[in-house]
Structure 1
Amino acid sequence: MQPRTSRQPSHEQDTRRPDDDTRLSAELAVVIAGARRRAVRDGDRQIDTAHLLHTLLESDPEVRAVLGGGPRMARLFGYLVQRSIGYGLRWQGTVEDSGALPVVTGVDGFSPVASAAVDHACARAARRGDAHARGVDLLAAVVADPQARAVEVLVRAGIDTRALAGRIDNDAGERPQEYAGDGGAAC
């Protein structure tokens, strides 16, 4: 059996590493590195929001607590695991894009939506007065765009993403907002 490798030729791979971003907590940098490994293993060219969600759930207890447990969590993990062998195959070779911004190939190996989510997470942390974004910041950013692949997975698992976004923002004392139309806020 041959190991799976990225379908992206090595000369096209971006050498910049989003997990080296100083705006991210150490834990979130680990999440992004894990999402990159998951994307490569799945044969995807870019890290998308479903990769980020999957790795957040695996590694961040605060994110799991926000989502709660029980059958919905098991169903959510089931959908995420099936992505590489089931319905997620239709995503391969496509760029995750919400349509709110001009289509680009992504920044630092991210899909446009995932890139905007990382920027939004950093901006959210800055509004809170933190220098580094955490996992819950990224979860809030991911669920803010209804066109994100992670939102599709969450909805399929029976999770109301609008209620989730409101709960996250209420816990942080913020007002829910969508980030897709803001041009990718820098922080």
Structure 2
Amino acid sequence: MATVVAGARRRAQRDGDRQIDTAHLLHSLLETDPEVRETFDGGPQVARVLGYLVQRSIGYGLRWQSRVEGTAGVTPVAGWSPAAVAAMETAFARAAERGDPQDGGTGLAGGTDLLAALAGDPDCRAVEVLRRAGVEPALLIGRLRVATVPEI
């Protein structure tokens, strides 16, 4: 997760954004986590999503620069959009619920936890990008649920 956050921070700085938002997190996830990429419906779908994310830095995201990506009831954190904070909190809560025994039951969040959190917020920028790229967030979440069901 530290790699994802570092990548998102670099993207935000490079794009001239004041805050890390959910689209920065999605972009970093797709670049760094093979398990996240496998969740999508093949390479062409990942390429379409990455295409929209790259366009952000050359104009697509300019309309986002004038407003903060918000989520009601989330305490602001310096350098983070409220929606990105909410996604991170949701990812860690998802991991804690799972109580992964490999990490001593502490529930360390992984990339798929964050992807599920992003896809689950219908009003965030990451979902806007997913939809524009032809990815249905509900189907993505369904694949994530199936992938995390423990084998018997």
TM-score, with length taken from structure 2: 0.88
Q: Which sections of structure 1, spanning at least 5 residues, go unmatched? A: 1-27, 175-187
Residues 97 and 112 of structure 1 are in contact (CA less than 8 Å); yes or no, is this contact kept in structure 2?
yes
- Do residues 146 (structure 1) and 146 (structure 2) align? no
Contact 2:22 2:84 in 1 (8 A): yes
Question: For residues 122 and 102 of structure 1, what CA distance do their matches in structure 2 show?
Answer: 18
Shift of 1:71: 2.1
Could you tell me how far 1:170 is from its partner in structure 2? 2.9
Give per-residue Cα distances to partners, 1:23-79, cap 9 Å, x unaligned. Answer: xxxxx1111011001001100011000000000000000000011323222111110
Q: 1:119 to 1:157 in 2, by over 3 A?
A: same
Long gaps (5+) in structure 2? 101-105
1:80 and 1:64 map into 2 onto residues whose CA distance is 14
Q: Return the match for 2:29 from 53, 56, 62.
A: 56
The structure where helix makes up a greater share of residues is: 2
Change (3 A) 1:113 1:135: same
2-structure distance, mates of 1:74, 1:166: 21
Deviates more, 1:62-71 or 1:155-164: 62-71
Q: 1:44 aligns with which of 9, 17, 23?
A: 17
- Where 1:94 maps in the other structure, the secondary structure is coil
In the alignment, structure 1 residue 135 sits paired with structure 2 residue 135? no
Q: Which of 60, 85, 96 is the matching residue for 2:69?
A: 96
Distance across 1 between alignment mates of 2:64 and 2:74: 16
Corresponding position of 1:31: 4
The equivalent of 2:42 in structure 1 is 69
Matched position secondary structure for 2:19: coil
Q: 1:150 Cα shift?
A: 0.4
Cα separation, 2, equivalents of 1:157 and 1:166: 18
Match of 1:7 in 2: none
Query: Is the contact between residue 44 and residue 93 of structure 1 (CA under 8 Å) also seen in structure 2?
Result: no
Alignment counterpart, residue 54 of structure 2, candidates 39, 61, 81: 81
Please, what TM-score do these two structures have when normalized by structure 1? Answer: 0.72
Residue 62 to residue 36, structure 1, CA distance change in 2 (3 Å): same
Contact 1:56 1:63 (C-alpha < 8 Å) held by counterparts: yes
Which amino acid is the alignment partner of residue 53 of structure 2?
Answer: L
Query: After the TM superposition, which segments of 4 or more aligned residues of structure 1 sit over 3 Å from their partners?
Result: none
Counting matched residue pairs gives 144
